[in-house]
Amino acid sequence: PADATKGAQIARQWCANCHVIGGNPTAAVPQGPPTFPTIARSGMTSDHLRAFLSHPHGAMPDLALSRSEIDDLIAYIEGLH
């Protein structure tokens, strides 16, 4: 099963430089990338998120996350509703 706690760790490690990942940013982030709470409320399904995170896109780095890491990250994002 997916682990939202591990997903939060992945978000802090790989995503927090560009995205606000929680309710309050701890540092300035560039304008443009959506916050994780915004993504959580966007209506994207877990399948949409999985497809998005599985392939390089836009200005995002190629993170090469494993399937379980993607599932953990999705569990974290979905917990932000």
pLDDT per residue over 18-31, tens digit each? Answer: 888 876 655 555 56
The predicted model scores a pTM of 0.83
pLDDT tens digits, one per residue of 44-69? 999 999 998 888 677 777 778 999 99
DSSP 52-79: HHHS--TT-------HHHHHHHHHHHHT
Integer-rounded Cα Rg, in Å, for the chain is 12
Give the 3-state secondary structure of 14-53: HHCCCCCCCCCCCCCCCCCCCCHHHHHCCCCCHHHHHHHH
pLDDT at residue 32 is higher than 80: no
Instruction: Please answer whether residues 7 and 77 qualify as being in contact, where contact means their C-beta atoms are separated by less than 8 angstroms.
Output: yes
